[in-house]
Structure 1
Amino acid sequence: MYRVWNFITGYSILLISGAIIALIWANLDLIAPVAGNSHYWADLYHDFVEFVIWHDAPIGHLHDDGHGHVVRDLTLHYLVNDVLMALFFAIAAKEVWEAVILKNGSLRGKKAATPLVATAGGMFGPIAVYLGLAYFLGSDTYDAVANGWAIPTATDIAFSYLVGRLVFGAGHPAVRFLLLLAIADDAAGLLILAIFYPSGDLAPVWLLLSLFASVGVFVVFNWLPRRLDRGDQVRRRSTWVRQTLSFWPYLLAACASWYGFMMSGLHPALGLLPIVPTIPHADRAFGLFSAAEEHLHDLLNQIEHALKYPVEIILGLFGLMNAGVAFSAMGDATWLVLAGLLIGKPVGIFLFGWVAVVLLRLGLPQGMRMVDLVVIGFVAAIGFTVSLFVASVAFEPGAVQDAAKMGALFSFAAAAVAIVAGQVTRVQKQEL
């Protein structure tokens, strides 16, 4: 994530705008029906989303062309969800990488222990509620929705941060706790997507392309110049590589890695993850959303800042491509996703947080109360972006996927619940 407030607001406005436009468009048949075609606007929306940019392309959705040949079509939906969203997940991976590897990383040391344990609760709790209620509804329902178990595990870091500031105030230690939890949640979410939601038949040999691309670009353009510059205070070779070649070697490696993921059957939106750790980065972290990040001039931060506005636009397109669900699509998956988020998240975070604080004696940040964990749980229940993404890969297009997406959209209700919970538990807002 970026460390500046205007990115968060930009992210929110564009993403929400895209989602609202999609929702209105997909439900226009209720407002302005067309005589003789009760699904005119909905069909128009789906035709737009699945518009074929390039037939029989080297990348895209695999399908039978009707003549016995399997071809790939590059559709608008594939371009946004599978190609462009790779940049969004690369930014998330950058956060996780810095939090883990850097000396002052937020997920290193005892300070991260309780948030990490609470994160586990924020994932196991929603899974237990989602699958438990699905099982209670009967085997037919369970079989239909079981593959969506990961949808309510997600936490939308940007929206949670916004609501966390509203509830606790920007200076409250609970806000930092929430951000640590959300970053760890992102890391777990990336692993879940990679392991449990392949985009096709697995062909692991193609991952060698991603491996060679990441190792090759690291050795040749990162490790070797630094190795040759040992004893040279001017660092001529490293400087020449950075100034002359800039990000181009990493862009080419990223394209190769993405293609390897696509051909391997893993979701290609995760294809840039192996490249992120290979890019030269700063040797310290200033903290989540710290304005000091703007003054770091390592290549990794330069790339991140250059992607700021493109990723905002991509997220707006993502909302437009994925949130077009008819209100009539609400079903069992809708309520299961909501229950997983609104019940499983706060209960899981509180219970695991209690274990960390009381049984493991890991402690809470100074100024936080145990009851604040419940409020944090409600704030973290805003799944939105990643929940929408997981819903789109967990189910085939159809009624169940649409119902699950509606649950992800309705998770915004967690913001109102969190505000009320903050009032009930008498949270004392602390501003900077």
Structure 2
Amino acid sequence: MLGFLKGVNPAVYLFSATVLALILANSPWSGYYFSFLNTPINLQIGDWQVFSHHGRTMNLGEFINDALMCFFFFSVGLEIKHEMVGGSLSDFKTANLPVLAAIGGMVVPVACFALIESGNATVLRGAAIPMSTDIAFSLAALGLLGSRVPTTLKVFLMALAVVDDIGGILVIAIFYSEGLAILPLLIAAALLIITRFCGQKGVYQQWFYYLMFFLVWLCFLQGGIHTTIAGVLLAFCVPYVPIGVPKDLMDQINVARQSFDTYPVAHSKNRVYMSASQLDTLTQLRNTSSKVVSPVQRMNVNISPFVNYVVLPLFAFSNAGIALGDVPISDFAGGVPFAVMLGLVVGKPLGIFLFTWLFTKLGVVSFPPGMTKRNLLGVGMFAGIGFTVSLFVATLAYPASLGDIGVEYLNDAKLGILLGSLISGVIAYYYMRIVLNKEVKEGRGAASPEYQAYLSAQSGHPQEEK
């Protein structure tokens, strides 16, 4: 259904929605923009209001953040499971480098924020805002540099961003859950156990997991734990190993070829007629092909277009609308915008670089082929593009329940995220362009013998793409 959108990088839609929100929020139509986001979402079954939050009906902005964004975190959970079971985080030794780098990239930005705003407990609720990396934006920006970027750096950045997401999810679960209700959470736990058990027993139908996703989401909505955690936990319950093997598919394909070679398809004008046996062969082929694909991969592929082209642009449109006139210039010298920007622009690359350098010196980890200290710093700068999860954490850190001061801090934090991400991306791009060109001339990085040998080994021993 969304296939016509796939020719464009999802980051383009995300960026366009952000710009549109900024324009509307600072235009004569700002009143319409904000009133549109406050539109109530009514779905009532009898006396039950489905989208009820804290005893009242959700508005459109809350529906996007608390309902639609669960699909984003469900997709993130599927990606995390893949990386931990069969991807770049599956091997302990290989995973050490991005995990340690990500820890530094989370700890130092939080410390930078706390250093600036240590005297205000309410502002410190947002200390976790600059700790996240936006996977889509950061990888898209790094990809602009083309083949000069070693693939090992791209894998490193993606794995680092995944670990960042894990950190962000833990922060949301631990620090932004309130008013816990035990019964709904116990029901949610039982549903998750049932889902996991069914997955182990061979229940691979996608509708079953979407149904359980909805039920667990409802329980979390009433239980006080932020609903996005429901998406992540449910994703962990989806089976990873397919029930079929590629050989079964190949055998079925050979049977299908024989069937069509023996009994040709009859043509009449523009219509194609198949025999009953040929239709049955195609049905069996379709069923077999679905069984040899990992359910985690299949669900992630199916849900990604909806997340990338609908959910995330809507999230950006509803959360990036900042009234720039409401932010005092003085805040950039020591307020929330400055604290967030400092965490993203300085804290993120500094933490990633220092932790990687330190544990390399200690012999705990080593650089992969193609990585150097200089391009490591550049990757750390790209990791400072913290958009989606950072905005999400900001909305949780400064909720409407804080009153006018919460609205002010949220507006400040959003501005800090946008400017910090933009500055990080621009500096990272131009810095890396200079570094990569220099490394090519020096025979380092992507031009190093070690990296070329690595590429030769990869092409000589092709591996299944994760």
TM over 0.5: yes
Contact 1:100 1:106 in 2 (8 A): yes
Match of 1:409 in 2: 418
Match of 2:52 among 60, 63, 72: 60
| 1:418 CA drift (Å) | 0.3
Contact 1:210 1:257 in 2 (8 A): yes
Match of 2:302 in 1: 306
- Render the CA deviation track for 1:289-319: whole Å, top value 9, x for unaligned: xxxxx99623322222221221121111111
User: Matches of 1:298 and 1:156 in 2, distance apart?
Assistant: 26
- Secondary structure (helix, strand or coil) at the match of 2:384 reads coil
User: Matches of 1:106 and 1:214 in 2, distance apart?
Assistant: 24
- Render the CA deviation track for 1:211-234: whole Å, top value 9, x for unaligned: 111111232x32234xxxxxxxxx
Within the alignment, does 1:325 sit opposite 2:322 as a pair?
A: yes
User: Matches of 1:171 and 1:118 in 2, distance apart?
Assistant: 18
| 1:166 CA drift (Å) | 2.6
Match of 2:163 in 1: 184
Match of 1:44 in 2: 32
Structure 1 residues 205-284: aligned runs within 5 Å: 205-219=183-197, 221-225=198-202, 242=204, 246-282=205-241
User: Matches of 2:164 and 2:341 in 1, distance apart?
Assistant: 18
Match of 2:355 among 331, 352, 355: 352
Structure 1 residues 285-304: aligned runs within 5 Å: 297-304=293-300
User: Matches of 2:364 and 2:410 in 1, distance apart?
Assistant: 42
Structure 1 vs Structure 2 CA RMSD = 2.6
Contact 2:213 2:230 in 1 (8 A): yes
- Render the CA deviation track for 1:226-271: whole Å, top value 9, x for unaligned: xxxxxxxxxxxxxxx54xxx22221221111111211121111221
User: Matches of 1:314 and 1:10 in 2, distance apart?
Assistant: 15
| 1:348 CA drift (Å) | 0.6
| 1:275 CA drift (Å) | 1.6
Match of 1:338 in 2: 341
| 1:72 CA drift (Å) | 1.8
Match of 1:92 among 60, 73, 76: 76
Match of 1:396 in 2: 399
Match of 1:155 in 2: 133
- Secondary structure (helix, strand or coil) at the match of 1:54 reads coil
Contact 1:213 1:254 in 2 (8 A): no
- Secondary structure (helix, strand or coil) at the match of 1:281 reads coil
User: Matches of 2:439 and 2:62 in 1, distance apart?
Assistant: 44
Match of 2:313 in 1: 316
Contact 1:258 1:271 in 2 (8 A): yes
Within the alignment, does 1:146 sit opposite 2:124 as a pair?
A: yes
- Render the CA deviation track for 1:335-375: whole Å, top value 9, x for unaligned: 11111000100111111011111113411001211222211
Q: Which runs of 5+ in 2 are unaligned?
A: 244-289, 401-406, 448-454, 456-466
User: Matches of 1:183 and 1:308 in 2, distance apart?
Assistant: 16
Contact 1:148 1:395 in 2 (8 A): yes
- CA 20–374 in structure 1, closer or farther in 2 if over 3 Å, else same: same
User: Matches of 1:427 and 1:258 in 2, distance apart?
Assistant: 49
Match of 2:105 in 1: 122
User: Matches of 1:344 and 1:43 in 2, distance apart?
Assistant: 36
| 1:19 CA drift (Å) | 1.2
- Render the CA deviation track for 1:160-190: whole Å, top value 9, x for unaligned: 1112223473544222211111111111111
**One-letter code of the match for 1:310?**
F
Contact 2:41 2:60 in 1 (8 A): yes
- Render the CA deviation track for 1:70-118: whole Å, top value 9, x for unaligned: x32121112211101101011111111121123x553422112121111
Between 149-158 and 421-430, the greater mean CA deviation after superposition:
421-430
| 1:283 CA drift (Å) | 6.5
- CA 396–361 in structure 1, closer or farther in 2 if over 3 Å, else same: closer
- CA 404–214 in structure 1, closer or farther in 2 if over 3 Å, else same: same
Match of 2:116 among 133, 142, 146: 133
% same residue: 30
Match of 1:229 in 2: none
**One-letter code of the match for 1:173?**
T
Q: Which runs of 5+ in 1 are unaligned?
A: 1-5, 30-40, 63-70, 226-240, 285-293
Contact 1:209 1:256 in 2 (8 A): no
Structure 1 residues 103-114: aligned runs within 5 Å: 104-114=87-97
Match of 2:15 in 1: 16
- CA 366–283 in structure 1, closer or farther in 2 if over 3 Å, else same: farther
Match of 2:24 in 1: 25
Number of residues paired by the alignment?
374
**One-letter code of the match for 1:338?**
M
**One-letter code of the match for 1:304?**
N
- CA 296–124 in structure 1, closer or farther in 2 if over 3 Å, else same: farther
